[in-house]
Amino acid sequence: MEFHINPDSTERMDDSGATRKPTIRVVNDNDCNLKLVSYLLEFDGYRVVTATTAGQAQAILEHSSPELILMDIRLPGMDGLTLTRKLKSDDRTRHIIIVALTASAMKGDELTALATGCDGYLSKPVDTRKLPR
């Protein structure tokens, strides 16, 4: 499963009038995974905002809304599926595309993530060809 964000339909103008690629929120408690995914997305020109817990991601969402969230499922405290349910039940955030990015690759995990409200599912280790382009 590949995710493509069409830059023609999603580029935004900033306050200076310059266009920018979409913002992607990466929520992951593993520092190596967080850095790798962030680096690859930034290299492709995306603005990346990171969070290491669901609570931190939720707090950041009070001030800014990304076009896409790459959500780890297993997070300390509130897990990624619980946050996904909350975001998809809120009128202010239900439009955000949420893709589960997880090491949970057991049979049924993808269906669980999709049933919870995730719009897609990517398993780790990260296949860089499947990240947004």
Above 80 in pLDDT, residue 99? yes
Distance CA 58, CA 62 (A): 7
Determine the structural domain holding residue 107 and report its residue range: 22-130
Evaluate whether residue 9 is within a structural domain: no
Evaluate whether residue 56 is within a structural domain: yes
Evaluate whether residue 117 is within a structural domain: yes
**Which CATH number does the domain housing residue 59 bear?**
3.40.50.2300
Domain count, the chain: 1
Evaluate whether residue 52 is within a structural domain: yes
Residues 50-88: b if buried by 16+ CB within 10 A, e if exposed: bbbbbeebbebbeeeebbbbbbbbebeeebbbebbeebb
Distance CA 76, CA 10 (A): 32
* pTM of this structure: 0.82
105-108: Cβ within 8 A, 24+ apart: none
Evaluate whether residue 98 is within a structural domain: yes
Above 80 in pLDDT, residue 28? yes
Evaluate whether residue 13 is within a structural domain: no
Distance CA 100, CA 69 (A): 8
Evaluate whether residue 16 is within a structural domain: no
pLDDT per position as a tens digit, 31-77: 998 999 999 999 989 999 999 999 999 999 988 899 999 999 999 99
Evaluate whether residue 6 is within a structural domain: no
